[in-house]
Amino acid sequence: MGFKDKLSQSYTSAYLNRYGDRLTQLQGRILSIKVEQKSFLGIINTITATLVIKAMASSGVNTCYYKKRRWFKKPAFMNISQGHSVIIQGLKPDKKKKRKKKQDEFISIINIVNMTNKSELVPSNGEIPKKVQRVKADRRYK
């Protein structure tokens, strides 16, 4: 194992130690999407996207948000519209932190995989999954 591999492995393990219990994955259809782009003096550009998703596994609705800041260039966001089937990888809110805003129940987005047009927000090495299947827990045995 070379130096580059050791460094990437240490970064990965540190990230999982810090956020491992909060990592989540959600698959469903988009009910609504709202994208806002703001610019401060043309220097700092921000993009904020709020997505409301109906999960396939449950009847509940989840709200997710994506916020990105960039100097001088406009941050990019993928084309998503209502009704698209997506997989969202993100972080659940931290229960220990007290926040003033109402983003306690929101999931912060790390990556979005659009299953309708086979595109990703952050490209990954692997191929795009066809469909994520959930295994039903057998409740007879405990």
pLDDT > 80? residue 103: no
| Residue 21: how many other CB atoms lie within 10 Å | 11
What region does 83 belong to: left with phi over 0, alpha with psi -120 to 50, or beta?
Answer: left
Domain count, the chain: 1
6 in a structural domain: no
Q: Residue 47: which domain range?
A: 23-120
Between 13 and 132, the higher pLDDT residue: 13
Per the DSSP assignment, residues forming a β-bridge with 45 are 39, 70
- At 45, which CATH number? 2.40.50
Q: By the 8 A CB rule, do 86 and 80 touch?
A: yes
Tokens of 105: 């129940």
76 in a structural domain: yes
27 in a structural domain: yes
Between 61 and 15, the higher pLDDT residue: 61
- Alpha helices, DSSP H, located in the chain: 3-19
135 in a structural domain: no
Tell me if the pTM is above 0.75. no
Task: Please report the pLDDT score of residue 91 as a whole number.
Answer: 87
Query: How do residues 32-57 score in pLDDT, each as one tens digit?
Result: 999 999 999 889 999 999 999 998 87
Between 58 and 99, the higher pLDDT residue: 58
In the chain, the percentage of residues whose pLDDT exceeds 90 is: 30
